[in-house]
């Protein structure tokens, strides 16, 4: 979640910020706009008003306000961090990368900034740069299990399966119950043809993180590769129940003859496919 502003504030601004933090976004917005009438161009007010728009779900409206704040105070790391985070959330990845790079110039030893940029590069499939940024983040904060696991994902994307396995094992060394890393390690072992070992880790993944959709689909893929399609279908159903976006890749993986077995009610399967296609068309 984007962070708020820092430093001393006039009473009206402090009151608006308290309303914002309490979830009264309409009240906070009203006070911020009243302040801007009296103090046009005040960067803290513009920045916080932008965050209100973001919290209301209108992230696109937040960006011009934060840009105005940055024009007045270009050395603000908080403004730049929130700009980068919102751009990444909107999928404007090239702009997000530029914003994170500008943040690095302001806070060169900022582990969060390195991880944020790594995440953007990862979504762009710029694997080498993503790996470098995760490594820099981990050098500054070696205890981050999520970054260590994400490094495994990136190395797997690069095709460096041994490196990915090492990264996932390092993540599990930090937290043995981190299901995302268990699932990632299972995927690597499956890609290496070590299916029984992979199955052990995929089962641990869904035990550790039963609400992680990808863990269930990865378990299904492993079971299917072992020729255990009936068990795989059970895992696939759980995956799609948690995240309908997984339906399409699962349908591509299973034999066409098994499509009707994914659900006992064909009408439900058809409705899910239609809904998934419509969702993809709107993005």
Question: End of a domain among 101, 132, 157?
Answer: 101
Residue 15, both tokens:
């009151």
Residue 182 within any structural domain of the chain: no
Measured distance CA(182)–CA(87) in Å, rounded: 30
pLDDT of residue 201 exceeding 80, the answer is: yes
Residue 171 within any structural domain of the chain: no
Residue 148 within any structural domain of the chain: no
Residue 245 within any structural domain of the chain: yes
Average pLDDT over residues 250-279: 70
CATH code where residue 228 lies: 1.25.40.10
Average pLDDT over residues 98-115: 94
Question: End of a domain among 101, 127, 154?
Answer: 101
pLDDT of residue 6 exceeding 80, the answer is: no
**What are 36-45's contacts with CB under 8 Å, separation 24+?**
41/68, 41/72, 43/68, 43/69, 43/70, 43/72, 43/73, 43/76, 43/79, 44/5, 44/7, 44/9, 44/13, 44/69, 45/13
Q: pLDDT tens, 227-264?
A: 999 999 999 999 999 999 999 899 999 888 887 777 74
Residue 157 within any structural domain of the chain: no
Q: Which domain holds residue 72?
A: 1-101
Average pLDDT over residues 53-66: 96
What SS3 class is residue 239? helix
**For residue 225, which of 189, 256, 261, 259 has the smallest C-alpha distance?**
189
State the total domains in the chain. Answer: 2
pLDDT of residue 8 exceeding 70, the answer is: no
Q: pLDDT tens, 131-188?
A: 999 999 999 999 999 999 999 999 999 999 999 999 999 999 999 999 999 999 999 9
The confidence score (pLDDT) of residue 271 equals 64
Residue 272, both tokens:
């899910």
Q: Are 113 and 81 in contact (CB under 8 A)?
A: yes
The confidence score (pLDDT) of residue 4 equals 44
Average pLDDT, the chain: 90
Query: Given pLDDT bands bounded at 50, 70 and 90, which one contains residue 1?
Result: very low
Question: End of a domain among 85, 101, 117?
Answer: 101
């Amino acid at each position: 979640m984007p962070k708020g502003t820092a430093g001393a504030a006039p009473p009206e601004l402090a009151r608006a910020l308290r309303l914002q933090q309490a979830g009264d976004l309409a009240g906070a917005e009203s006070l911020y706009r009243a302040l801007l009438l009296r103090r046009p161009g005040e960067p803290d007010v513009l920045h916080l008003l932008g965050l209100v728009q973001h919290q209301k779900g209108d992230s696109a409206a937040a960006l011009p306000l934060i840009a105005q704040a940055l024009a007045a105070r270009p050395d603000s790391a908080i403004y730049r961090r929130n700009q980068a985070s919102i751009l990444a959330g909107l999928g404007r990845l090239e702009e997000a990368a530029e914003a994170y790079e500008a943040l690095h110039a302001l806070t060169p030893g900022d582990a969060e900034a390195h991880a944020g940029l790594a995440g953007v590069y990862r979504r762009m499939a710029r694997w080498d740069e993503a790996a470098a940024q995760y490594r820099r983040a981990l050098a500054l904060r070696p205890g981050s299990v999520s970054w260590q696991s994400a490094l495994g994902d990136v190395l797997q994307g690069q095709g460096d399966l041994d490196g990915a396995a090492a990264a996932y094992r390092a993540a599990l060394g930090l937290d043995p119950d981190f299901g995302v890393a268990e699932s990632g390690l299972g995927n690597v072992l499956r890609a290496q043809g070590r299916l029984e070992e992979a199955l052990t880790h995929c089962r641990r993944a869904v035990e550790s993180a039963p609400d992680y959709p990808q863990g269930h689909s990865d378990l299904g893929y492993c079971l299917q590769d072992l020729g255990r399609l009936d068990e795989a279908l059970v895992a696939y159903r759980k995956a799609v129940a948690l995240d309908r976006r997984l339906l399409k890749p699962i349908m591509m993986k299973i034999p066409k003859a098994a499509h009707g077995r994914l659900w006992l009610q064909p009408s439900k399967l058809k409705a899910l496919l239609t809904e998934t296609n419509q969702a993809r068309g709107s993005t």
